[in-house]
């Protein structure tokens, strides 16, 4: 009889540990889920003038008052502008 009580107690402890671990995990998931949608919805998607890629506004590389998806596209735009100036 003592053994059965021991195993029952052990099972209850394990069950309690699982429940606690799950509730902690849920809480952390919920807090991260709450943050992400607001972050995503607040970020506007803009189009790169050089390659036409859509990207989040906060990742934009700014140059000459315009927004580009990457440093490479900003350089390309500058080179194009420089060539245009040379031709004129």
Binding site for Zn ion (CB under 5 A): 48, 50-51, 53, 69, 73
- Least distance (Å) between residue 79 CB and Zn ion: 13
- Identify how many contiguous H helices and E strands the chain contains and give both numbers: 2, 4
With vertex at residue 40, the alpha carbon angle to CA 25 and CA 69, rounded to the nearest 5 degrees, is 130
- Least distance (Å) between residue 55 CB and Zn ion: 8
How far apart are alpha carbons 36 and 79 in whole angstroms?
A: 37
Nearest residue (CB) to Zn ion, 8 versus 51: 51
Q: Which residue is it, tokens 């998806």?
A: 69
For residue 35, what is the DSSP state? H
- Least distance (Å) between residue 72 CB and Zn ion: 7
Nearest residue (CB) to Zn ion, 12 versus 82: 82
Nearest residue (CB) to Zn ion, 46 versus 50: 50
């Amino acid at each position: 009889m003592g053994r059965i009580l021991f195993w029952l107690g052990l099972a209850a402890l394990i069950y309690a540990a699982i429940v606690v671990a799950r509730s902690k995990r849920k809480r952390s998931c919920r807090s991260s889920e709450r943050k992400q949608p607001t972050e995503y919805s607040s970020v506007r998607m803009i189009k790169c003038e050089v390659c036409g890629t859509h990207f989040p506004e906060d990742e934009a590389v700014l140059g000459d008052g315009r927004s580009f998806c990457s440093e490479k596209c900003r350089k390309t735009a500058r080179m194009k502008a420089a060539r245009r100036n040379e031709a004129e």
